[in-house]
Chains A and B, each alone.
Chain A
Amino acid sequence: MEHIRTPKVENVRLVDRLASKKAALGTLYLTATHVIFVENVPDTRKETWILHSQISTIEKQATAATGCPLLIRCKNFQLLQLIIPQERDCHDVYISLIRLAKPVKYEELYCFSFNPQLDKEEREQGWMLVNLSEEFERMGIPNNYWQLSDVNRDYRVCDSYPTELYVPKSATAHIIVGSSKFRSRRRFPVLSYYYKDNHASICRSSQPLSGFSARCLEDEQMLQAIRKANPGSDFIYVVDTRPKLNAMANRAAGKGYENEDNYSNIKFQFIGIENIHVMRNSLQKMLEVCELKSPTMSDFLWGLENSGWLKHIKAIMDAGIFIAKAVSEEGASVLVHCSDGWDRTAQVCSVASLLLEPHYRTLKGFMVLIEKDWISFGHKFNHRYGNLDGDPKEISPVIDQFIECVWQLMEQFPCAFEFNERFLIHIQHHIYSCQFGNFLCNSQKERRELKIQERTYSLWAHLWNNRADYMNPLFRADHSQSQGTLHLPTTPCNFMYKFWSGMYNRFEKGLQPRQSVTDYLMAVKEETQQLEEELEGLEEQSEHLKKC
């Protein structure tokens, strides 16, 4: 609270961006966790709540006759334009928010004060909803080829990996440790997804420290072990998700990529996805387009193209499609890496898994997928989404892109996903909200040290309890689209990828379709269920009466 210079400012106006003539008059409050704007209209007293952790930038604009404008941009793409009558108040709000939006300690985050009135037992159950051991069991692991390794107990080998890792049975501790020394940040190849039907697998790692000529016998043995774990194929793909030029540049720093001559029976493949800095700038450019005031069609399409955003989405999808095809059609295992193996690798592995595995297209399965490929494998949520004050160059919309890939797939396969668009939007929101503990920190190790599970609540339980809101009415477990692999063309046409207005303009309701087919169909289905129950009751009654 010591950072709040002024807790309350009256006669503030909230400007409607689409109709700038319309502005709501109200009172602005700053609390320890939220910015709250309450409209003066006595009947409704409409409230707008913004979590401090959602604030991305705050811009104080030149004072005008009407007051001092303050522009707040949020990470969930909300844009708030306030006009504060007094320059002094505006300055105080500005200074307070700058500090509040950039907490320096985890303890300042909302999840440590958020209390949904659940008891201890309910909280613990919430954290148990998503269980990765169960997930590997569901895949059929451990089996004759794969086993659980305890080599990373107490994070001895790799501090950004989880403790429970699945590796080929033939990979001894010696091989693993040897391989880990030859990989960036010791992120050695481990199992991400196992395709039961043909034993092919998706494994992930970081780049090898190959430089121009270095080799590592254990690393070569590790890849061989992965190949042997799939008796159906005599080679594995190694997919480097970086542009070739970037990978080559890394060699000068003693890193790089696998030399096909040194590894027996690998097929090496580059699939160029740009790095986090390019993606950050791309999103920035696209958001500038979304912010344009009454743009022409040309402004919009030009801006969208110049941002490159959809091109990047397509690159991630292309990589996922390549891997899914290698696994399901060629029956070959794939090792995926980028530089550190926690951004592009996470994107690509999870897109490929989603294409291959119907379970990940269910509500519960999708939570498991994020838990597995993102949270447990050490995607740096804190750095990427700027939860704590840190290096702005580390921030990048990596998981946002994955979430968008899922939406693009939902547009192509409307019956394939158990969940709806709202589910994706709310997950994106909570990755930034810090209201739940799931996405805190940069690794499992840090989360355990912070005792996240004892001190905060799990988003997954929250979403699960409200699952009625997140259902896709077109989903049926026995529908052909919810079976097996989703087949996209190998090189999907450019026009398949569309601007996601439901996400990037989500707070501008005026731009969205005014009637929701999803909500309409959900209401019909709910009524259908009631009718089914009533019908059953009536049939019983009628039977009964006939007997009488």
Chain B
Amino acid sequence: MRLISEKKPAFPWFGMDIGGTLVKLVYFEPVDITAEEEQEEVENLKSIRRYLTSNVAYGKTGVRDVHLELRNLTMCGRTGNLHFIRFPTQAMPRFIQMGRDKNFSSLHTTLCATGGGAYKFENDFRTMADLELLKLDELDCLIRGLLFVDRVSFNGHPECYYFQNPSDTQSCVKKPCTLDNPFPMLLVNIGSGVSILAVYSENNYKRVTGTSLGGGTFLGLCCLLTGCETFEEALEMASKGDSTNVDKLVKDIYGGDYERFGLQGSAVASSFGHMMSKEKRDSISKEDLARATLVTITNNIGSIARMCAVNEKIERVVFVGNFLRINTVSTKLLAYAMDFWSKGQLRALFLEHEGYFGAVGALMELLKTTEDP
């Protein structure tokens, strides 16, 4: 009979990150359940496990990112698979309702949650589903989660990657790397908004700054300008557009480069700068607008990140957050910007599990242990 340590929390094991736009949920599915344990399991725990692991979509908007699943992970002495699920924060009431319907509260587990929604929805969880949230700081969770996933690696493959030759569209190639000796690092979390952290060690970091022009801005502006409704639509449009019809470039003002300060003619001098002209407005497409919005937001973040890196004297800049999900345009732009403007001094790094680190960190807080290697 296996001794169940009193320190191990009861199943199910969840970590939640309730952001401004998306809820990120990580769920640990144990695969080492003994026959005995299975017999003792309560019905709703089984049902939750079955529901989550046998579906890849939940309701209309819930999605399980199967390609991100971490298999045969050992956490807190148990072996299992870690699943990554997301749904829009707007659908939170439905989620809480489901929790109530499945009698989640009778399981007496602690629900560790981070992100602003942990505060905003705290009452709703209590009143609608009789669930008490353990609220955690999102930046603590972010760092903890990131370091954990990098350590355990992505099913044997590196979690971290960068782009070689980002300034050369022909030879630009994705390359893996590890975050060995990760400190100090500049961590740029691009969610609805942006937070920039200087991380000196696992427990020593500071929030350097933030910007309100984040993923939420991109999507909100895109919806307004093009009539699109989802992030995927917006990205699809952006991939087809040409932002140079919308933005005023240095060469539009100078007739060429602004040599004195090293600004190439192709650099953007004024984002959306052509749009004050009616003829130009009439001649551009929705795709051009979507592209310009993406490029503007991305370059602004890149510019601010670079300034922070220079100030904090940090050479590695790690970009995370769901703004970069399926967003190769932005990822490459950021890689290019860091490399180009710093003349190769700075390197942009990316992580496969993008926006899930907060949720992973919340799960780890629940387990309050380091995983077995």
Query: Do these two chains really belong together in a complex?
Result: no
B interface residues, Cβ below 8 angstroms from A? none
